[in-house]
Structure 1
Amino acid sequence: MTSSAARETSSRWESQRSFDELGRPLRDITFCVVDLETTGGSAEGGSMITEIGAVKVRGGEVLGEFQTLVDPRTEIPAFIAVLTGISNAMVAGAPPIESALPSFLEFAAGTVLVAHNAPFDVGFLRYFAEQQGRAWPRFEVLDTAKLARRVITRDDAPNCKLSSLAKAFKSGTTPNHRALSDARATVDVLHGLMERLGGLGVHTLEELQTFSSRVTPAQRRKRHLAEGLPHAPGVYLFRDERQRVLYVGTSRDLRSRVRSYFTASETRSRMGEMVGIASSVDGIECATPLEAEVRELRLIAEHKPRYNRRSRFPERVHFVKLTREPWPRLSLVRRVLDDDADYLGPFSSKKAAEKCLAALHDTFPVRQCSDRIGRKPGGTSPCVLAEMGRCLSPCDGSVDEATYAAVVRQLRDTLLRRPDEVVEAINAKMAALAADERFEEAGVHRDRLAAFVRAAARTQRLSALTRCPEVVAARREDDGRWAVHVVRHGRLAAAGVIPSGADANGYVVTLRASAETVGGAPGPVPAATAEETEKVLRWLESPGIRLVTVDGEWTCPVGGATRHLAVHDAVNQSRLSLVPFDDRRGLSTVHRPAR
């Protein structure tokens, strides 16, 4: 082969590879542009479809059209009839939605659905498919209204209504609130948007779906950084010119996710700044999504990238400690020691730890001072807490060792097994305060109780797993293969996927032999960060898990704190959903957007 021929072959190969890496070319996509006319704005509220119109196009060529009136089996409101020109007489004898919808779905099969204000039209179609017990096809959906808002300026059109855009792009059809006419106009708008975006380097469906004007041309030119990354789960690291890690992320598809930073689905200004600095992207392919999530946590903790906001400082945690000494007490500490003490945590914030500590002190009158007290105390004046009845006051000899030890045993049992005493005591206190209409004080105790219940549940769940020297589990994934994970003392030690046709037992034996050696350590989270162990736990507790081997006893107390979580989670979710009267930004109304 001559050198020129070799260059030509190489050039063709590079071109083919770049199309594959950048996504599906728009010229090869079949779009089905659909429009509906309805009796109102909400299918759930009883509105019905009166007309379906659709146009199928590919590469700028119209492949077919679909139009049918639909009998709504109800009166069409007068103002709707005036708007659309569709009267009761016109739909009399038309097919019902039970016949019209299957015909449309057959027409649209295998296409990308397009609509102007797509949530409205697609929402109606999906609703009636569900009512008929039909499985909704996995359509990809493109919304021309949403895309136009990213592209069109005030100089182009006064707004992004279909009528305004059709005029701006000189559509051959004027929208008139009839389904097929509006669908034809939407086709012209779609082609106009695609032509304009083509000049900005948008040539694939993926780029069209995710385009945003907030992503600069300079960012788009860096999309070559995604080349060479695999379509596989893993971790990616953005680096600057000095090879410093700027950002660490994870994805089930490395190439698609990294490419999205340059094709506009990632529009956070902070990420735009990061992409502007980045000069390279490294990808680490992982056997399973769980391994990718764990590697991400470990790399963030190692490099502490400036553009990652979470998980950078796993060492900045707090624990509530029940000491081991003649007169035990509760204290707030930053790390777990091998001192036979009992620990609750870790807490990601000191504030949460303090709330939990207050809940325990509200229930158990153990001493709160940090003084060293011998086995035979005495001669010290009682503190204010003792005078208030909130401390047994061992410092002045007010309590004997056996009585104090009995209270400590109850406290230890509350931390490790049954939280009921704290729950009942604080609930009673909240009820009394609420009865006196002292709601703010009751709220303080509610937050303290929630902090304690969450911490106790977390500690009990983490401790149960970290006590096990080894847990091996497997789950059948969507592709039919089995993902296997080896967990040692709560730390992910190995991950793999059994190849098709391979001996499963032999594969697991080999995976265990090659797994990381993990030693036990004191405390509820001895061998990994709490965040890592919780990710592992979520996978182990997911549907379809099969335990292959369990070395040790993996159990949580039946009367543990987890059973109290649902109430506190529901209360917290309810509080988050409230919108202050002076802040209406979170409120919205449901209506059919203007065309």
Structure 2
Amino acid sequence: MQLTLDALFDDPRAASLFSTTFMVVDLETTGGSPSGGGITEIGAVKVRGGEVLGEFATLVHPEERLPPFITVLTGITEAMLLPAPKIAEVLPGFLQFAEGSVWVAHNAPYDTGFLKAACAELGYPWPKPITLDTAQLARRTLIADEVPNHKLSTLARHFKVPNEPCHRALHDARATVDVLHALIARLNGHRVHTLGDALEFVKAISPQQRKKKHLAENLPDKPGVYVFRGGRDRPLYVGTSSSISTRVRSYFTAAEKRARISEMLAAAERVEAIECSHSLEAEIRELRLIAAHKPPYNRRSKYPERVVWLKLTVEAYPRLSLVRQVSDDGAAYLGPFASKRSAELAAAGVYDALPMRQCTKKLSKKTKTPACALAELGRCPAPCEHGISVDEYAARAAEPFRSATREDPAEVVEGLLARIHTLAEKQRYEDAAAVRSRLTAFLRAAVRMQRLASFTTLTEVVAARPAATGGWELAVARRGRLVAAGVSPAGEHPRRTIDMLLATAETVLPGPGPVPAATPEEGERILAWLERPETRLVRIDQGWASPARGAGRWRKLLAMADAAISAGRDPEDSHRR
């Protein structure tokens, strides 16, 4: 594995184990806790590629009594420590020796704990070294019946290394070097070749992750979409990232603990990478792939066709109807709603604010129909019995709804706010909270639809955003659909790339409604990209505007209502604000 010097300096984890410089350290102590000091000996060996680069060894005066059992265990006596330098004299030289290397120790938290405490006590900044623990590495590498335990002495005997540990720091550091090299030789069979691979390997990843880790190999470090595919090339999961290789590797680390992803990895046979020009193109491709293939392990964006709309029917006495699609029939629509429940909540809000009939019959202007219970209770103007004329019904119910969807929803919003206030004054807080939920569902749909409609009326938008590597990220949208994407190189005028994108862009034949050419989610992703402060509009074919007194002016109220629902706050409190 050949690595450039730039790669080594940029990310030491990308270096091969053969080219990594290790500083293997071992301490002897008085047996106390790190906070109390007590280091009696430091031994360290610096190695790279199997070659010893240097050694560091010294006794250390612990500035405390040495327990007899430590003398029995190590052979170190108080007489030997009396002339030894104190840790304040030893630590600077050790840190200099260790600089620029990956630290290795057997049961590393013990050794590094003492050294970190010494740095803190003496005012030295802790170097935060990358650390590899040979005890952990042995637990992950050796199978259960190979060794009875993972002590350094047991591993030294198992691997028949030339240096036997003897509870003296330098001898034990040399033995740890031998054990490290033996373990690295074993790692090749586990497809562990770099330092980063080894650091992830010692973590508690599942056997399934380890078995399938090769799926993350040879993927591009580019923005784009990745597709985990199973048997018969079936898409199992679709995702997006600014770096495909980095994101896919994360599925095979200890940080990935989702049960459904573990199940997906068990079925995966390969990973397909689709490189994209930039993050927006990747997001849109992801949405389209999920909608087209409906991968079993994706939870979101799988069924864009399941959105619901509220339709004001075209008849003498219009009513609200829940529909799945928008037609070119002259009707007024509100949506899209993500679920039938949210659409029903919004409809209930309309019924609270406007004298809209709730029956489903088609009413005649000439023939009367028996009234329903709502009319008898005074909650409906009874158009079925011609209790209200066609023109008056249109003025009081149908036209305010049409205005709410296209321009100003004030009549509905203010009607619901008045109802919330009345209920709260009567201390009917649960009923007021129910009306607040209806207001929130209605207003969210109105804001979303008007925002999308103002964007999707544009036949063509060309926009640019500075690329992280220089040049410009470019996007072309038509009727709210991304039709072309690219990047102009640094130092080159983007006009040439823009002309090429326009010449090859997808042709759009819009359908009816506020989202005529793409899913609502795609339009919102493009809008979010366009609204970033660094994005520049290069070309737009017509004026881009929203209604001056449209639903957008109620966004603050919507945010307050959402916050109140999340906090479970009293509706009267929200109204008073």
Normalised to the residue count of structure 2, the TM-score between the two structures is: 0.68
Where does residue 355 of structure 1 map in the other structure?
345
Report the CA distance shift for 1:209/1:433 in structure 2 as closer, same or farther (over 3 A). Answer: farther
Report the CA distance shift for 1:221/1:13 in structure 2 as closer, same or farther (over 3 A). Answer: farther
Q: Is the 8 Å Cα contact of residues 264 and 297 (structure 2) preserved in structure 1? A: yes
Q: Is the 8 Å Cα contact of residues 471 and 491 (structure 2) preserved in structure 1? A: no
Indicate whether 1:222 and 2:226 are aligned: no
Query: What amino acid maps onto 1:548 in structure 2?
Result: V
1:398 to 387, 406, 411: 387
Between Structure 1 and Structure 2, how many residues are aligned?
Answer: 465
Where does residue 336 of structure 1 map in the other structure?
326
Where does residue 77 of structure 1 map in the other structure?
none
Report the CA distance shift for 1:209/1:453 in structure 2 as closer, same or farther (over 3 A). Answer: farther
Where does residue 23 of structure 1 map in the other structure?
14
Q: Is the 8 Å Cα contact of residues 304 and 313 (structure 1) preserved in structure 2? A: yes
In 2, the alpha carbon distance for the partners of 1:526 and 1:395 equals: 35
Superposed, 1:99-178 pairs within 5 Å as none
Query: Secondary structure of the equivalent of 1:312?
Result: coil
Q: Is the 8 Å Cα contact of residues 102 and 131 (structure 2) preserved in structure 1? A: no
Where does residue 388 of structure 1 map in the other structure?
377
Indicate whether 1:372 and 2:351 are aligned: no
1:469 to 459, 464, 481: 459
TM-superposed deviation, 1:24: 3.7
Indicate whether 1:321 and 2:330 are aligned: no
Where does residue 296 of structure 1 map in the other structure?
286
Report the CA distance shift for 1:403/1:243 in structure 2 as closer, same or farther (over 3 A). Answer: same
In 2, the alpha carbon distance for the partners of 1:546 and 1:228 equals: 35
TM-superposed deviation, 1:354: 0.5
In 2, the alpha carbon distance for the partners of 1:258 and 1:326 equals: 58
Query: What amino acid maps onto 2:379 in structure 1?
Result: R
In 2, the alpha carbon distance for the partners of 1:324 and 1:62 equals: 88
In 1, the alpha carbon distance for the partners of 2:258 and 2:562 equals: 27
Q: Is the 8 Å Cα contact of residues 224 and 273 (structure 2) preserved in structure 1? A: yes
Report the CA distance shift for 1:197/1:223 in structure 2 as closer, same or farther (over 3 A). Answer: same
TM-superposed deviation, 1:436: 2.4
Where does residue 235 of structure 2 map in the other structure?
245
In 2, the alpha carbon distance for the partners of 1:513 and 1:383 equals: 60
Indicate whether 1:560 and 2:550 are aligned: yes
Q: Tell me the alpha carbon deviations over residues 68-108 of structure 1, each in whole angstroms, 9 at most, x when there is no partner.
A: xxxxxxxxxxxxxxxxxxxxxxxxxxxxxxxxxxxxxx999
**RMSD over aligned Cα atoms:** 4.8
Where does residue 457 of structure 1 map in the other structure?
447
In 2, the alpha carbon distance for the partners of 1:578 and 1:209 equals: 45
Indicate whether 1:496 and 2:486 are aligned: yes
Report the CA distance shift for 1:563/1:466 in structure 2 as closer, same or farther (over 3 A). Answer: same
TM-superposed deviation, 1:350: 0.6
Q: Is the 8 Å Cα contact of residues 21 and 255 (structure 1) preserved in structure 2? A: no
Give unpaired runs (5+ residues) of structure 1.
1-11, 33-54, 65-105, 117-138, 153-164, 175-186, 580-595
Where does residue 300 of structure 2 map in the other structure?
310
Report the CA distance shift for 1:363/1:570 in structure 2 as closer, same or farther (over 3 A). Answer: closer
Q: Is the 8 Å Cα contact of residues 221 and 244 (structure 2) preserved in structure 1? A: yes
Q: Is the 8 Å Cα contact of residues 210 and 260 (structure 1) preserved in structure 2? A: no
TM-superposed deviation, 1:142: 6.9
In 1, the alpha carbon distance for the partners of 2:568 and 2:197 equals: 37
Report the CA distance shift for 1:212/1:467 in structure 2 as closer, same or farther (over 3 A). Answer: farther
TM-superposed deviation, 1:554: 2.1
Where does residue 234 of structure 1 map in the other structure?
224
TM-superposed deviation, 1:289: 0.9
Report the CA distance shift for 1:501/1:363 in structure 2 as closer, same or farther (over 3 A). Answer: same
TM-superposed deviation, 1:456: 0.7
Report the CA distance shift for 1:414/1:578 in structure 2 as closer, same or farther (over 3 A). Answer: closer
Query: Secondary structure of the equivalent of 1:547?
Result: strand
In 2, the alpha carbon distance for the partners of 1:532 and 1:237 equals: 19
Q: Is the 8 Å Cα contact of residues 103 and 130 (structure 2) preserved in structure 1? A: yes
TM-superposed deviation, 1:542: 1.1
TM-superposed deviation, 1:205: 5.1
Where does residue 246 of structure 2 map in the other structure?
256
In 2, the alpha carbon distance for the partners of 1:547 and 1:575 equals: 37
In 1, the alpha carbon distance for the partners of 2:192 and 2:355 equals: 68
Superposed, 1:529-568 pairs within 5 Å as 529-568=519-558
In 1, the alpha carbon distance for the partners of 2:481 and 2:55 equals: 56
Normalised to the residue count of structure 1, the TM-score between the two structures is: 0.66
TM-superposed deviation, 1:400: 1.7
In 1, the alpha carbon distance for the partners of 2:545 and 2:100 equals: 49
Q: Is the 8 Å Cα contact of residues 456 and 480 (structure 2) preserved in structure 1? A: yes
Report the CA distance shift for 1:269/1:357 in structure 2 as closer, same or farther (over 3 A). Answer: same
Report the CA distance shift for 1:237/1:438 in structure 2 as closer, same or farther (over 3 A). Answer: same
Report the structure number with the largest CA radius of gyration.
Answer: 2
TM-superposed deviation, 1:196: 13
Where does residue 422 of structure 2 map in the other structure?
432
Query: What amino acid maps onto 1:333 in structure 2?
Result: V
In 2, the alpha carbon distance for the partners of 1:383 and 1:519 equals: 45
Report the CA distance shift for 1:365/1:571 in structure 2 as closer, same or farther (over 3 A). Answer: closer
TM-superposed deviation, 1:411: 1.7
TM-superposed deviation, 1:27: 7.0
In 1, the alpha carbon distance for the partners of 2:168 and 2:426 equals: 69
Q: Tell me the alpha carbon deviations over residues 302-328 of structure 1, each in whole angstroms, 9 at most, x when there is no partner.
A: 111111111111111100112222222
Indicate whether 1:524 and 2:514 are aligned: yes
In 2, the alpha carbon distance for the partners of 1:361 and 1:460 equals: 21
Where does residue 591 of structure 1 map in the other structure?
none
In 2, the alpha carbon distance for the partners of 1:491 and 1:256 equals: 29
In 2, the alpha carbon distance for the partners of 1:254 and 1:292 equals: 10
Superposed, 1:476-515 pairs within 5 Å as 476-515=466-505
In 2, the alpha carbon distance for the partners of 1:508 and 1:426 equals: 48
Where does residue 410 of structure 2 map in the other structure?
420
Query: What amino acid maps onto 1:379 in structure 2?
Result: K
In 2, the alpha carbon distance for the partners of 1:577 and 1:433 equals: 20
Report the CA distance shift for 1:201/1:514 in structure 2 as closer, same or farther (over 3 A). Answer: closer
Deviates more, 1:549-558 or 1:411-420: 549-558
TM-superposed deviation, 1:269: 1.9
Q: Is the 8 Å Cα contact of residues 471 and 551 (structure 1) preserved in structure 2? A: yes
TM-superposed deviation, 1:492: 0.6
Where does residue 265 of structure 2 map in the other structure?
275
Query: Secondary structure of the equivalent of 2:559?
Result: helix
Q: Tell me the alpha carbon deviations over residues 226-265 of structure 1, each in whole angstroms, 9 at most, x when there is no partner.
A: 3332110111111113111111111111112122223444
Report the identity percentage: 45
Q: Tell me the alpha carbon deviations over residues 420-471 of structure 1, each in whole angstroms, 9 at most, x when there is no partner.
A: 2222222222222222222211111111111111111110111111111111
In 1, the alpha carbon distance for the partners of 2:19 and 2:332 equals: 64
Q: Is the 8 Å Cα contact of residues 377 and 396 (structure 1) preserved in structure 2? A: no
Q: Is the 8 Å Cα contact of residues 483 and 496 (structure 1) preserved in structure 2? A: yes
